[in-house]
Amino acid sequence: MKTFLVGGAVRDKLLGIQARERDWLVTDTDPQELVRLGYRQVGRRFPVFLHPETHEEYALPRAAHADSDATPITLEQDLARRDLTINAMAMDADGRLIDPLGGERDLRERLLQHTPAFRDDPVRVLRLARFAARYHGLGFRLAPETLALARRMVREGDLAAMVAERVFAEISKAFAEDDPVVFIQVLRRTRALAVILPEVDRLFGIPQPAKYHPEIDTGKHTLMVLQQACRLSPLPAVRFAALLHDVGKGVTPAADWPRHIGHENRGAPLVEVIARRLCLPNAWRDLAVLACRYHLHCHRALELRPATILKTLQALDAFRQPQRFEQFLVVCEADMRGRKGLQQQAYAQRAFMAGALQAAQSVDLKGLSDAAPGNAGIAARIARLRSAAIARYRQESGVKPAPSETLAGEGAAGA
């Protein structure tokens, strides 16, 4: 049995960076022999085997996966079936590089180049965008012929065969990278964004009021918000919610441009549609829906009445899910900062809303509930006490209503 380090671990080793994981390929053996040696098989049609000690993944050449009676293929043939040349390299136990498609050369030239088998799997268009996001800081670029192939795959309908769970898996990995903005940009360049997230794709070219959005273009604003979210949080769900926060502007009637009155209410159902189409986890869906529907409430927090602030906190389920509430506030801050010239602007609303929640939580409800169990008016009494606590917090903190020319006026302006 011969063992080879393959794929991403070889790529990252040659780049001089720490590999995130190591995958191995074994030849001159069969599944029965691996099991006898203590490897644990996982998967059926395309099984891999977990090492009995390291638990790293070991695989047989790919033709042997699908059909046990198939003629075994060579290591080089297996590598040629991968997605990009930089992922189609192997290294043997002596450190000798096996590079049938010139992946090492493409690494030196910082080129993302497809293999002959790239079109075998349409999800590879998303992987191309993800690797562009991962290695953008190292100067990697798409090979012109690879971009052309990806566009042809989109144009000819290849992406219609993608399974939602695999699409989301690529999105979740991409949004954990340092620069998921590049992921979205590459999807736009390949025309794939219009297939995967048409609600986001249609934002580009739609104007907004220059008074609140000096960058004008809604799509550009969306990418600026995503960039700010990446600076504020490492959480993929927060970043994805930032991407979707303004999708309602994509369905504003053109006659109403550049205003977008009510876009938050139009956008929330669109987020639900996206969630179903991509099989988003509930946590991703719920945060994105809340960010879409209530981000203007947060922007206007400094001018809202205490009772309205309390209703917003309740709508956000902030009392029961304070961690998600904090994530929501991050999205709102990213939205404010994602505007031309405002990237370093202070966002007092975030601290104010967090403080308002703490003030409302500080109200002692034990005596109230004990004194009047089951009282139909207890909810109203709690609301009054919590609103009063928020009012005291506002007074003690010295927060003043925001001037009409600030971001707080965005909702009234229909931005």
Tell me the pLDDT tens digit for each residue of 232-279: 999 999 999 999 999 999 999 999 999 999 999 999 999 999 999 999
- Say what the pTM is: 0.90
Give the pLDDT band of residue 371 (cuts 50, 70, 90): low
CB 279 within 8 A of CB 165: yes
Look over the chain and give the mean of its residue pLDDT values, rounded to a whole number: 90
Residue 88 burial (CB count, 10 A): 28
End-to-end CA, the chain: 65
- For residue 22 the two structure tokens come to 């190591």
Give the pLDDT band of residue 91 (cuts 50, 70, 90): very high
Residue 95 lies in a domain: yes
The answer to which of 28-37, 240-249, 383-392 has the lowest mean pLDDT is: 28-37
Q: What three-state secondary structure class fits 57?
A: strand
Residue 170 lies in a domain: no
Given a cut of 90, is residue 104 above it in pLDDT?
A: yes
> Which of 109, 136, 152 finishes a domain?
109
> Which of 109, 144, 166 finishes a domain?
109
Residue 249 lies in a domain: yes
Residue 151 lies in a domain: no
Domain match, 75 and 214 both: no
CB 221 within 8 A of CB 242: no
Given a cut of 80, is residue 332 above it in pLDDT?
A: yes
Domain match, 409 and 305 both: yes
Which of the residue ranges 59-68, 247-256, 370-379, 402-411 has the most confident prediction, judged by mean pLDDT?
247-256
Residue 162 lies in a domain: no
- Domain of residue 250, CATH code: 1.10.3210
CA distance 283 to 287: 6
> Which of 109, 143, 171 finishes a domain?
109
Closest to 381 in 3D by CA, of 365, 370, 395, 392: 365
The answer to which of 187-196, 263-272, 346-355, 399-408 has the lowest mean pLDDT is: 399-408
The pLDDT of residue 216 is: 96
CA distance 171 to 180: 9
Burial class (CB in 10 A: 0-12, 13-18, 19+), 176: middle
The pLDDT of residue 152 is: 98
Residue 135 lies in a domain: no
Residue 150 lies in a domain: no
Domain match, 402 and 263 both: yes
- Domain of residue 29, CATH code: 3.30.460.10
- The alpha carbon of 349 is separated from its chain's Cα centroid by a whole number of angstroms, namely 24
The structural domain count of the chain equals: 2
Domain match, 218 and 330 both: yes
Residue 296 lies in a domain: yes
- Note down the domain range covering 351: 197-413
Q: List the beta bridge partners of residue 49.
A: 41, 58
